[in-house]
Amino acid sequence: MPKKVAYEGRVESWSVMDKDGKTDEKMMPKLSKEQVKEMLRWMVLARVFDDKCFKLQRQGRMGTYAQSTGQEACQIPVALAMQEQDWVFPCFREHPIILMRGFPMAQYLWYWGGDERGMKVPEDVNVFPVAVPVGTQMLHAVGYAWGSKLQGKDVATVTYFGDGGTSEGDFHEAMNFAGVFQTPTLFVCQNNQWAISVPRKKQTRAETLAQKALAYGFEGIQVDGNDVFAVYAAAKHALDKAHAGKGPTLLELMTYRMGDHTTSDDAKKYRPPEEIAYWRERDPIDRLKKYGKANGLWDEGFEQKCLDDAVATVEKAVEAYEAFPKPEPEDMFKYMYKEMTMDLTEQMAMLKRWLDEERQE
């Protein structure tokens, strides 16, 4: 009758490749040569895209932008592990996976350029709109997965959030609903060590973020998030479970936000340079390049071609982005409801009058 153990839980930590690109064969997931090359191509494209967006913002050609540099390996392998019918419910730093899931790049730029039409997701792209309020999107992912399950559809959902996002009440409610209804949902926490200026250790007292899954009765795994192979293996494991009806999984991907929080932020105010140097040595693209070279998957020519192709793709998208005509003021009214209400019709007319009057003077 004395003290007994009522519960024991544990969290594994997965990594496959070290910082020099050497892999642990026992842990190495099955991936074809072509798949590995595909990952490199997408990661390079994402990096080039990111650099370009940063520059566009600085040149006043785009609005506030949140860079993903350094976090590519948290996303590209997940896209690879997903089935076609699966959905992504992103936060706002998920450019790599959004693009790899087929979102047209030029249109995606419209969004960051401040145009709602950027989030008129094409019908065949299984991505939900960018969610700006931190923590809110996970519930949508759980609801979508739950709904698919109720309809007998074999669809898993993947939702992204940061270390900071785990503090919001909605994270808790999403994880709990996922556990209770055993929804096929993969929760991907990109633990990039910072929520703007707040370091991970001030965000929660928990030793790992992965262990938060224990509170909901499902599996959490901590993964080297700058290691494409570890991320792929963990995502595959979680998605296989999801598709097999075995419920949700939380992955904590250990990574680093290499840039400022957004183009409005100046991380120098709060981050030590040593930390950045530490993580620069663990750059996910460099690691994959080392692996590829050491294993005879590619040479420098291939890498250069990845880069050249990426630059060309991005430049073309930017051109299309900038050529896009301005939205019409009517658009502000037309999508409030399926049919415009009388009030909105009147207000739209009123606004038109105002605009006419303003133009006249």
Partner 1 sequence: MAMVKATLVEAINAALRQEMERDKRVIVIGEDVGKDGGVFRVTDGLYARFGEERVIDTPLAESGIVGTAIGLAVSGLRPVAEVQFDGFVYPAFDQLISHAARIRNRSRGRFHCPLVLRMPYGGGIKALEHHSEAMEALFVHLPGCKVVIPSNPYDAKGLMVSAIREEDPVLFLEPKKLYRAFKQEIPEEPYAVPLGEARLVREGTDVTVVSYGNMARVSNDAAELAQEQGISAEVIDLRTVSPLDKKAVVDSVKKTGRAVIVHEAPRSCGVGAELAATIARRAILSLKAPMERITGCDIITPYPRLEDYYLPNPKRVLNAIKKTMSDF
Q: Which residues are designated catalytic?
A: 257, 261, 270
What, of its own copies, ligand TPP, partner 1, none, does residue 42 touch, CB below 5 to 8 Å by kind? none
Identify whether the C-beta of residue 159 lies closer than 8 Å to the C-beta of residue 186.
yes
* Comparison of 65 and 298: residue with beta carbon closer to partner 1: 65
Strand partners, 224: 254
237 binds ligand TPP per the rule CB under 6 A: no
207 binds its own copies per the rule CB under 8 A: yes
Instruction: Single out the residue of 5, 7, 26 nearest to residue 16, CA to CA.
Output: 26
End-to-end CA distance of the chain: 87
Identify whether the C-beta of residue 252 lies closer than 8 Å to the C-beta of residue 189.
yes
Pick one of 27, 196, 214, 307: the residue that binds ligand TPP (CB under 6 A).
196
Q: Specify the residue for token string 């249109």.
A: 107
Pick one of 47, 212, 237, 257: the residue that binds ligand TPP (CB under 6 A).
257
SS3 of 283, please?
coil
What, of partner 1, its own copies, ligand TPP, none, does residue 257 touch, CB below 5 to 8 Å by kind? ligand TPP
* Comparison of 75 and 203: residue with beta carbon closer to its own copies: 203
Pick one of 96, 118, 143, 162: the residue that binds ligand TPP (CB under 6 A).
162
What, of ligand TPP, Mg ion, partner 1, none, does residue 93 touch, CB below 5 to 8 Å by kind? ligand TPP
Instruction: Single out the residue of 117, 114, 147, 119 nearest to residue 131, CA to CA.
Output: 119
Angle at alpha carbon of residue 156, lines to 155 and 158, rounded to 5° = 145
Instruction: Single out the residue of 91, 103, 95, 88 nearest to residue 50, CA to CA.
Output: 95
* Comparison of 1 and 323: residue with beta carbon closer to its own copies: 1
Residues that bind Mg ion (CB under 5 A): 162-163, 192, 195
SS3 of 139, please?
helix
Residues near ligand TPP (CB under 6 A): 93, 132-134, 161-165, 192, 194-196, 257, 261
